[in-house]
Copies of this chain bind each other. A is one copy, B any other.
Amino acid sequence: MKEWFPNVQKIAYEGPESDNPFAFKHYNADEVVMGRTMAEHLRFAVCYWHTFKNLGSDPFGGDTMIRSYNDARNEMKVAENTMQAAFEFFTKLGVHFWCFHDRDIAPEGDDLAETNKRLDKIVDLAESLQNDTGVKLLWGTTNAFTHRRFLAGASTNPSPDVFAYAACQVKKAMEITHRLGGQGYTFWGGREGYETLLNTDMARELDHLAGFLHLAVDYKEEIGFDGQFYIEPKPKEPTKHQYDFDAGSCHAFLQNYDLVDHFKLNIEANHATLAAHTFPHELEYAALNGLLGSVDANRGDMLLGWDTDQFPTDLYDTTLTMYIILRNGGFSPGGLNFDAHIRRQSIDPDDLFHAHIGGMDAFARGLKNAAKMIADGKFEGAVRKRYAGWETGIGARIETGQVGFADLEKYILETGEPELQSGRQELLENMLNEYI
């Protein structure tokens, strides 16, 4: 079989002293941390769209990356070669999961029937490669935003025909995800949003979005797919007003339309910051509402106003992320999907390896840091101490619903001005630095 990345051999763990850019310095798949291997904790996935289909174009210029698997004349042959290359990449990198959109893996045909036939053919190949390699599907999804037909949304399109077309795509994508043993299925509302209220009936569009998701829930049951459904919040792109703005607005929507039991959230770092939240905030918000599903691991540029989807290398982020994940029992069936792409100037196939190695090493360090933070218990202790007043006395009576406004007034008239404590933010930040 043709080798698509002949430059690179299987990436091995060589430890922090290694100078080899094609080795892990921190990610040691079988190393046990807090009772599980790193691989079990981190559940890394490679995404198909950025890693194999993104070739470096941006709004100011065309593709920059030349890949041998794109050389074939026939577009289905390109699709097959790319799938072969992808599994070679997964295997050499040593990740156990992948993620894809339907349109990443097979090009559209002249009509829907032909398109679905093409998909089936490529899924045959993917299935056999999964069997050969043991790589699994973390989640599948539909691309209902790239094609011209979705210019005004998919399920929120002013035209019911487009709604119907999107339904066809999701139906098929759920079927192939199911067939490939996918552990989840993600809904990112590509163009589900609007540009201007001057031409938009937002109430109707939100109703349609909810109706669509209910149809998906029905179909899930119909085909017996038991993977987890995820909604992925994102603001601002591509429509100015994306309906799934952030974790909070998704939470509102899911409750409002009786969908909250059927979905969890797939939280992406760069989407969090575009919505003016920290990544840890969105994770914690999801977790405390029972919605923490999976993670799109990347990093934004805080000086730029769009989704830069850079590889996650910030050790503060990886440490705090893993601290939240571990304290919430880890994630499964979710995982860490690298929804990230190499920079336009990083034109070599080698750069794909560098990027993923860097992200995996950064999360391995984050995992170890977080495990140490939990073992030391300093942060948990600080928080517990700060809220200690709620465990007894008036605090406990408030929490158990034994007092009303009048009782509280009486209490304060007796006890007077509350005592205050320092928030100790600087000390806690210093403590955190000692784990980095």
Contact = CB atoms under 8 A, between A and B. Distances in A.
A85 interface: no
In order of increasing CB-CB distance, the 8 nearest A-B pairs are A305-B305, A345-B423, A248-B249, A160-B395, A161-B418, A302-B302, A358-B430, A252-B252
Q: Among the interface residues A240, A277, A284, A345, which one has the most CB atoms of the partner chain B within 10 A?
A: A345
A377 interface: no
Given A246-B249, A426-B343, A426-B354, A417 B149 contact: yes
A146 B404 contact: no
A375 interface: no
A46 interface: no
Interface string A394-429: 110011010011101101110111111111111111
A386 B151 CA distance: 14
Contact of A148 (B63, B236, B324, B387): B63
Given A113-B413, A430-B21, A303 B278 contact: yes
Contact of A151 (B170, B345, B361, B412): B345
Nearest to A340: B426
A12 to B, nearest CB: 16
A90 interface: no
Contacts of A433: 313, 315, 358, 361-362, 365
Interface stretch (A127-135, A177-185, A210-218, A224-232): A210-218
Contact of A422 (B112, B172, B345, B383): B345
A277 to B, nearest CB: 7
A236 B284 contact: no
Contact of A199 (B253, B418, B423): B423
Contacts of A361: 430, 433
A358 B201 contact: no
A158 B324 CA distance: 20
B436 A436 contact: yes
A326 interface: no
Contacts of A434: 16, 25
A159 B419 contact: yes
A150 interface: yes
A109 B383 CA distance: 33
Interface stretch (A1-9, A28-36, A37-45, A189-197): A189-197
29 contacts: A25-B434, A56-B151, A58-B59, A61-B148, A61-B151, A160-B390, A160-B395, A161-B389, A161-B419, A197-B284, A197-B320, A199-B386, A199-B428, A211-B399, A215-B405, A218-B404, A236-B305, A245-B248, A246-B248, A248-B249, A256-B289, A275-B276, A306-B306, A342-B426, A347-B421, A347-B422, A354-B427, A358-B433, A436-B436
Interface string A141-160: 00001111111100000111
Given A159-B389, A383-B199, A170 B240 contact: no
If over half of A's interface residues share one DSSP class (helix, strand or loop), that class is named, otherwise mixed; here it is helix
Contact of A61 (B147, B216, B424): B147
A69 interface: no
Contacts of A342: 425-426
B412 A379 contact: no
A294 to B, nearest CB: 20
Contacts of A168: 405, 408-409, 412-413
B404 A195 contact: no
A354 B423 contact: no
Given A160-B398, A196-B423, 4 more contacts: A167-B409, A249-B251, A354-B426, A355-B426
A316 interface: yes
A419 to B, nearest CB: 7
